[in-house]
Amino acid sequence: MAPAHLPPALPGRKRRIAMMTSGGDSQGMNGATRAVVRMAIDRGCEVYCIKEGYEGLVKGGDQIQKFEWPDVRGWLSANGTLIGTARCMAFYERPGRLTAAKNMVLNGIDALIICGGDGSLTGADKFRSEWPSLLEELVATKQLTAEQTEPFKHLNIVGLVGSIDNDMSGTDATIGCFSALTRICELVDCIESTALSHSRAFVVEVMGRHCGWLALMAGVACGADFVFIPEKPRAGNWREEMCKIHRKVGKRQTIVIVAEGAHDQEGNKISPDMIKDLLADKNGLALDTRITTLGHVQRGGKACAFDRYLATLQGVEAVNAVLDATPETPTPFIAITENKITRKPLVQAVLDTKEVTKAIESRDFDRAMSLRDTEFSDMYNSYMTTTATGLNDSMRLPPTKNMRIAIIHVGAPAGGVNAATRAAVAYCLTRGHTPIAIHNGFAGFARHHDDKPLGAVREFDWLEVDGWASRGGSEIGMNRETPEESGMELIASLFKQYKFDGLFIIGGFEAFHSLSQLRKARDQYSSLCIPMTLLPATISNNVPGSEYSLGSDTCLNELISYCDTIKQSASASRRRVFVIETQGGRSGYVATLAGLAVGAVAVYTPEEGISIDMLAADIQHLREAFKTDRGQSSSGRLILVNEKASKVYSARLIADIIRDEAHGRFEARDSIPGHVQQGGIPSPMDRTRAVRLAIKCIEQLEAFEDRTDETIRQDPQSCTVIGIKGASVVFSPMKVVEAEETDWANRRPKNEFWVELKHTVDTLSGRPEVPRPESPLVGWKAKDRKRGLI
């Protein structure tokens, strides 16, 4: 007979959703759990967390615990998975799944959100398909009654992919992969400095038995000389290729990155020892070669900004997917393509993932690559292009198609600018073009023509830029001056003097404004009738035409690290609020995304503004929060305020107001990270995307190498901004973007894709609805008129 203590499963009871992490741990899982718990509660559901993965589901009892809102406070910055994960052999067998089903019904749960790898998610889908027969067996064996199982006829499951290998087909990134990549790049950067000092070679082995994503991205981000991945073994005799190059062009160091599943085209394993023996062979390169196996250190450390907000947004979407599901809905998993979060069929993704492994085993490497996402293929091609500099004659264009391409940085420093420049130079040299550096932006360009030239215009040297992959700032200098401020007539004459055939601009809103000015000046100056393109690079992420700018990810990583430290400093006092001022100009992107990643109580942005009524409501919310705080977390509470959210309410003033209104019940402090947010070493995401997008930009310029002035003027694609929009990378004509998509007065896009995310920040922080300002941007316009922006 069924136990008498079973809870009633009545139709009127709240929906119960369970959250579980399974498989290997990956950074960001705690963020996903926090998001699921709080979003489900906000949607009127009860939430249970299953400890130790499928092991806890089979054991039941106290392994299945109800979670309340405060239970996940402070989880965003915690490492690993706080609800645990364990392998469970019992769940592989039907009796184990039968017990798991019984425990689900006992706890009134009919929906399961699982964060794990493809094996864990495959098991979940099988569990769902067997669910009706499992319930029938439980009733038939009298472990449960028909009345108890009746409300649970259908099991809804949603998958979140947590894997450092990023090996699930159908998604660009899995939760934890960028945190692991961050750890790898930090270590390879350290190794590279030793290699350079001692003129050594290092062979670095990273994880990836069936997926080379970590190895490939680390190779791109760190500028490695060789990368070995399972999906695409090197063609031909790679041993001879390795012996021919690199030191012959004057390099002092060699970095080789090997995925643990790397092999040659015949399927023979390529081990680090094999590569070391080759590099150290006295008849070959005779290099002092060392091996470093990174191992499980790749799983360690705190989650990076991307993994925190990816896990958060996917957790929110998972709850929505559960509540939207019908019995006929195929089991979905939550994916991300470029910049768009979507739901995709889990079964198909798992099948495609397994097909990759089969293709590798059968040595059908073209198929293996085709089953990876577009970004993976783009990155591989980008890597091969940037490491073939001057070595692959088949990639060179005929001399008649060679171009003189100028590269200039405009705006403020941003992570990834140097990596983009390095990639552009490498591509140009590989194709036979001449890459030309314009130092110190348009200001340096305009002033170099005096009697004593400053060397502001010169051809790039490959050995000079080869080490730029991991450098922050701008190695050729950048400033905010636009061509009109420098003198358009002078700039046009210099374009003519140096015979530029194309212009590649890297920078922020000033770069965008400069490109607009150059485009409009084409009617007056023939020398400006050349193809031009812009790669957005600014921590503010406010360039129209793109949802992503180089440097924004580096900024977010620096900012959340700063916020984590601030919260740690509050550990001695549970009653403290920190008001932190973020950069970002008149765009609230940085504040909002950082708010998602650190769990801010409130975020104040220029788009919304700040009012006294809003502050009063938030102070009242803080009073209630501290009044009901059970003291389970010693971390401080954070409020993020964009530097231009208000002309009156600065971070310091807000902190002073909160402190005064708290009447001693809690404290408030302000803190300004300032230019720390520009970052030191760029993040792996900024580095890898810099390479991919920079090469696409030069390819775009190549398409116009033989056009006439009139054709250039008439073709909108001759002057473009590259950008990630939703699920695509696109080149948008400047003529369209500047007229239809640009809020010139506020130096940002008219329609900012992330604005709705602010509501998510408020929801997950428990912030109640607050009064909104009537017109937050009145007051900026006089300044804009003076600068000629209106």
Binding site: what residues are annotated? Answer: 24, 87-88, 117-120, 163-165, 200, 207-209, 260, 290, 296-299, 480, 538-542, 576, 583-585, 643, 669, 675-678, 747
Dihedral of alpha carbons 284, 289, 294, 295, sign:
positive
Indicate the helix (H) or strand (E) that contains 67.
Answer: strand 64-67
The four Cα atoms 567, 569, 571, 573 give a dihedral, to 10 degrees, of -100
Contact 543, 725 (CB under 8 A): no
Cα dist from 34 to 21, 45, 139, 310, whole Å? 12, 14, 35, 12
First to last CA, the chain: 78
Indicate the helix (H) or strand (E) that contains 157.
Answer: strand 156-161
Helix/strand/coil for 693: helix
Strand order across the beta sheet in which 532-536 lies:
457-459, 434-438, 404-410, 502-507, 532-536, 719-725, 728-733
Cα dist from 372 to 260, 320, 356, 377, 769, whole Å? 18, 27, 8, 7, 43
Q: Is 246 left (phi over 0), alpha (psi -120 to 50) or beta?
A: left
Instruction: Report which residue type is found at 713.
Output: R
Q: What count of other Cβ atoms lies within 10 Å of the Cβ of residue 737?
A: 24
C-alpha span between 262 and 230 (Å, rounded): 5
Contact 296, 25 (CB under 8 A): no
What does the DSSP 8-state code read for residue 303? Answer: P
Instruction: Write out the binding residues for Mg(2+).
Output: 118
Instruction: Write out the binding residues for substrate.
Output: 163-165, 200, 207-209, 260, 290, 296-299
Dihedral of alpha carbons 231, 235, 241, 246, sign:
negative
Cα dist from 557 to 623, 677, 768, whole Å? 30, 8, 28
Contact 716, 249 (CB under 8 A): no
Centroid of chain to Cα 315:
16
Contact 723, 452 (CB under 8 A): no
Token duo for residue 509: 């809103």
C-alpha span between 169 and 161 (Å, rounded): 10
Active site residue 553: no
Q: Where are the beta strands (DSSP E) in 176-262?
A: 201-206, 226-228, 254-259
Centroid of chain to Cα 694:
17
Listing DSSP states for 132-160 in one string gives: HHHHHHHHHTTSS-HHHHGGGS--EEEEE
- Residue where the block lists tokens 């495959």: 122
- Residue where the block lists tokens 């067998």: 93
Indicate the helix (H) or strand (E) that contains 322.
Answer: helix 305-324
C-alpha span between 209 and 14 (Å, rounded): 43
Catalytic, out of 165, 307, 373, 618: 165
C-alpha span between 504 and 507 (Å, rounded): 10
Instruction: Write out the binding residues for ATP.
Output: 24, 87-88, 117-120
Residues annotated as part of the active site: 165
